[in-house]
Amino acid sequence: MSQRNVILPPAMLGMLGGGQLGRFFVIAAHEMGYKVTVLDPDKNSPAGKIADVHICAKYDDADALKLIAETCLAVTTEFENVPASSLEHLAKSIPVRPSANSVAIAQHRVSEKNFIKNAGLPVAPFAVIDSDADIPADGSEIYPAILKVARFGYDGKGQARVANSVEAKKAFAEFGQEECVLEKMLKLDYEVSVVLARDANGQVTTFPTAENSHLNGILDITIVPARGSDAVNHQAQKLAITVAEKLDYTGVLGVEFFVCDGELLVNEIAPRPHNSGHYTLDACVTNQFEQQVRVMTGLPLGSSRQHSPAVMVNLLGDIWPQVDGKQSEPEWQLAFNNAQLKMHLYGKHEARPGRKMGHYTVVSNTRDDAIKLALQVRAELNIGE
């Protein structure tokens, strides 16, 4: 990108989506001197509360999109379920990163799985289910499997474990016979992810490979650097870069992997900053949200060097106690007593079970020490109980 195409402060940037990822983007943009307009239909959206302008409207609202096109110099998105048509519309007049095509692939599991397979990347065995007739018969090697709706599924939602065709047909009916992916359930060694940034010139910067564990389908703990072999961690980086290149991707991208018998399989693609990349806020020279700002404004990518081992723990609404029928706060002093802990609460209007309300990251001189301290606070806050 030539220097004349670089967008400098105090320009107005546009963000479609007002959740916690959008909130961190607003913070990063403000620190760099930019202004931000957030489009989100929720009047209490965490990003909208701190944005310079909050347009409280649907993502396909014509007047809202017109206002963004007229007032913002570039646009990005915080989650993949923003209508690709809205991004296509905005791209006619201003830079949109990532592209509508990239988002459209990632927001539809069938498109995503077919993209991974056609790109020659390793992926778990799967079948596309459009009707009962597509469900493999008993005895198929795909069982046991997980049935996943093709659209609007995340954090374990829209998924069902099935052991045979009868269970698969029952789950398919419960999902309203929407298009699904039936994916073989594999015995995992563990799971990892890579977050990277790729600019308009094809330059790529990757963050260290992260090791992830989930609870009820939602990310629970991220350990960085991952404890797996150097070979697996390096291969994950290479595969993530290949995903970005095959997508011709511009933006921040999260790629999730299964590790099975020491081999990597691409699981999911997230066309945005990723939950497992939150540790970068406290443990890297440049965090994933600053990279997002840099990519969309044409600035050079920042250094992704990790300066401290880190462990990130998600805080879900489940730990907000109910006292006399009213919601109260967790005992935050148990966390703040740890001098190496960095707390990030998202300012959400209401705590609900399974809802991501915040996270904390413990940074330390060694990975083992960070793990020990993070798990100690996790137990004190009764996370996962």
Q: Is 88 in the same domain as 141?
A: no
Report the mean per-residue pLDDT for the chain. 95
What single-letter amino acid sits at 146?
I
* Token pair listed for 179: 């298009």
Flag whether 130 is in a domain.
yes
Q: How confident is the model at residue 151 (pLDDT cuts 50, 70, 90)?
A: confident
Flag whether 218 is in a domain.
yes
Q: Is 154 in the same domain as 13?
A: no
Q: Is 130 in the same domain as 194?
A: no
Mean pLDDT of 251-279: 97
Return the pLDDT at 1.
43
- Burial class of residue 11, CB neighbours in 10 A (0-12, 13-18, 19+): middle
Flag whether 110 is in a domain.
no
Q: Is 90 in the same domain as 196?
A: no
Task: Give me the half-sphere count of Cα atoms (radius 13 Å) on the Cβ side of residue 319.
Answer: 20
Q: How confident is the model at residue 2 (pLDDT cuts 50, 70, 90)?
A: very low
Q: Which DSSP category does 127 fall into?
A: E
* Token pair listed for 120: 């020659």
Q: Is 222 in the same domain as 140?
A: no
When divided into structural domains, the chain yields a total of: 3
Catalogue the E-assigned strands of 24-134. 35-39, 53-55, 75-77, 126-129
Q: Is 213 in the same domain as 177?
A: no
CATH code at position 26: 3.40.50.20
Q: Which DSSP category does 275 fall into?
A: G
CATH code at position 135: 3.30.1490.20
Domain boundary among 147, 166, 184: 184
Flag whether 103 is in a domain.
no
* Token pair listed for 163: 């052991």
Q: Is 291 in the same domain as 212?
A: yes
Q: Is 64 in the same domain as 157?
A: no
Flag whether 365 is in a domain.
yes
CA 145 to chain CA centroid, Å, is 23
Q: Is 54 in the same domain as 201?
A: no
Q: Assess whether pLDDT exceeds 90 at residue 182.
A: yes
pLDDT in tens, 56-75: 999 999 999 999 999 999 99
What domain range is 39 assigned to? Answer: 3-96
Q: Is 251 in the same domain as 323?
A: yes
pLDDT in tens, 128-143: 999 999 999 999 999 9
Q: Is 308 in the same domain as 204?
A: yes
Return the pLDDT at 284.
98
- Is 270:195 a contact under the CB 8 Å cutoff? no
Return the pLDDT at 153.
60
pTM of the model: 0.94
Q: Is 220 in the same domain as 343?
A: yes
